[in-house]
Amino acid sequence: MSFGEQTITLDDVPKLVVISVMGCLVNTPQRITDVFELVVSLLGVSTREATDELGLVWGNSVRLEWLRSKFFDVTDANLDRRIECTIRAFLLYLVGCTLFSDKSGARVSIYYLTLFVSFYAWGATALAYLYKQLGYVSRDGVKQIVGYLPLLEVY
């Protein structure tokens, strides 16, 4: 960051938090029907479990506690498919608590599951999400901010 600059740039991200800014850009599905398909196929839960959870939290996110309770007991003895689903669930939980947290602090968008299929530019994505959230928090009446705030804390 040069003297006199007042914002975080893409060049600052890998220096501050050591995450990549190189890779494919994130493209998430926009149709709600895709959400059920993502939960069932990438998390390996039944259609009934997906319907119950998505219906409980307004259709496009899952509760962080649900992810924890659903996958806490997986061991090396489980089938490879179950272990892969647990890894995705853990990563979804992790980004829901850090890079892409929401104001509830208790949910994460299911669309982020698509991020664990290919390599993505996590740093660029985190910065774009933070800028989007800064736009929201600048509105009259908004009293909270979310996003990967360590990017702001170093300044």
Q: Domain residues for 28?
A: 13-153
* Residue 8, domain member (yes or no): no
Q: What percent of the chain has pLDDT over 70?
A: 82
Q: For position 155, what pLDDT does the model report?
A: 53
Residue 98 predicted with pLDDT over 90: no
Q: For position 62, what pLDDT does the model report?
A: 92
118-133: burial string, b at 16+ Cβ within 10 Å, e else: eebbbbbbbbebbeeb
Model confidence pTM above 0.75: no
At 123-151, the pLDDT tens digits run 777 888 888 888 888 899 888 888 888 87
At 51-70, the pLDDT tens digits run 899 888 776 889 999 999 98
* Residue 21, domain member (yes or no): yes
* Residue 2, domain member (yes or no): no
User: Which two structure tokens, joined as six digits, stand for 38?
Assistant: 């993502």
At 11-48, the pLDDT tens digits run 877 777 766 677 666 655 555 557 788 888 889 999 89
* Number of domains comprising the chain: 1
